[in-house]
Amino acid sequence: MVKREFLHHVGVNYLYAPWISWLVLLQAAPFFKHEGVCFLILWWIFIVPILALDIKIYGQWITKGKRFLSGVANPTSQLSVIGNLVGARAAAEMGWNESALLLFAIGMSHYLVLFVTLYQRLPGSSSIPAMLRPVFFLFLAAPSMASLAWDSIYGKFDSSSKMLFFLSIFLFLSLVSRPALFKRSMRKFNVSWWAYSFPLTIMAMASTKYAQEMKNTASHILMLFLSALSVIVSLVLMIFTALNSNSLLPCDADDSMHCISINQRSSIV
C-alpha cells in the first residue's frame, strides 16, 4: 500500500500528513518544554522523514525526471510545503532559528514555484479526481502556516506575517465564492472532507496571532468568526465520520489510490 501511494502523484503527498500532524501535536503538547531534550528528540524523529521526502520529490521537480512539476502539480503538492513550515515553526520555538530559517527557506521557495504552477494550470498538468476537490482548501493552509512560522522565527507578527495571512484570507474568499467547484465531492461523505478542517484551523490560529498584534475590534471579530468556523467544521466532520465509519474506505485499503484513479477517471478537475 505504501509503495503504491508513493508512486502515485497525489498519494505521495499524503505521506507528509502523519509527520505534519505529529509536529503540530508536539508544539501543542503541554507536558513538553520547547527547550527540553524530549522535544528536540521528537522534532528530529518527525522532521527527518519530511526532509527525506523533500529530497525525493523536490529533486524530481528540479531534474525533470519522470515527475517534473508541471506534469504532477496538484493542490495536495502543498503538503510538502506545509511540512517544512510546520517544522520551521517547531524549530523556532526551540530557539533553533538557523534551522527554522533553513526549513522556512526550503518551504517558501518551493511554494512560490508551486503556487505559480497551480495558477497556470498547464495543459500537461495532472489533475485530481472530483471526490478530492476539498484539498483545494490546502491553498489556505500554506500561507497561514507560513505566517505562523515567520511569527515564531521573527518573534512578532510583522508585515510579512500579515501579508501571508491576508493571502490566505483572499484564497479562502475565492474558494467559498465557488461552491459549484465542490458540489460533486459533497454528494456523499468521503474521508477527503477532512481536508476542510486543517486549513481552517491553521487560518484560525493565524487570525489569533493577528488579533493579538492589532488589538482592535475588527481583528477580534475575524478571529472569533474563523475560530468558530473551524470548531463547527471539525465537529460536523467528526459526526459524519462516526455515522459513516463503515464506508470510509469503499475500495480495498491496499488499492485506494488505484481505485480513485479508475473510478474517478471521468471526473477530473
- Domains of the chain are 1-128 (1.50.10.150), 129-257 (no CATH)
Dihedral angle computed from the Cα positions of residues 15, 265, 62 and 47, in that order, rounded to the nearest 10 degrees? -10
| 201 vs 11, more confident | 201
- The Cα 163–Cα 104 span in angstroms is 16
Which of residues 265 and 69 earns the better pLDDT score? 69
Please, which contacts does 250-255 make with residues 24 or more away whose CB atoms are closer than 8 Å? 253/1, 254/1, 254/4, 255/1, 255/4
Q: What is the predicted pLDDT for the residue at 125? A: 47
Residue 269 has pLDDT above 80, yes or no: no
For the chain, first and last CA: distance in Å?
Answer: 25
Buried b (16+ CB within 10 A) or exposed e, 104-138: bebbbebbebbbebbeeeeeebbebbbbbbbbbbb
Q: Is the model more confident about 184 or about 19?
A: 19
Confidence of residue 7 (pLDDT cuts 50, 70, 90): low
What is the percent of the chain where pLDDT is above 70? 81
In sequence order, the 6+-apart residues with CB closer than 8 A to the CB of 255 are 1, 4
Give the confidence band of 9 by pLDDT, cuts at 50, 70, 90: low
Q: What is the pLDDT of residue 254?
A: 46
Does the structure show a pLDDT above 80 at 140? yes
- Average pLDDT of the chain is 81
pLDDT at 150 over 90: yes
Amino acid at 39: F
Query: Looking at the whole model, is its pTM more than 0.85?
Result: no
What's the pLDDT score for residue 148?
94
Reply yes or no on whether the pLDDT at 23 is more than 70: yes
3-state SS, residue 4:
helix
- What's the mean pLDDT in 243-250? 68
Give the long-range contacts of residues 154-160, CB within 8 A, separation 24 or more.
156/213, 157/209, 157/210, 157/212, 157/213
pLDDT, average across residues 35-64: 84
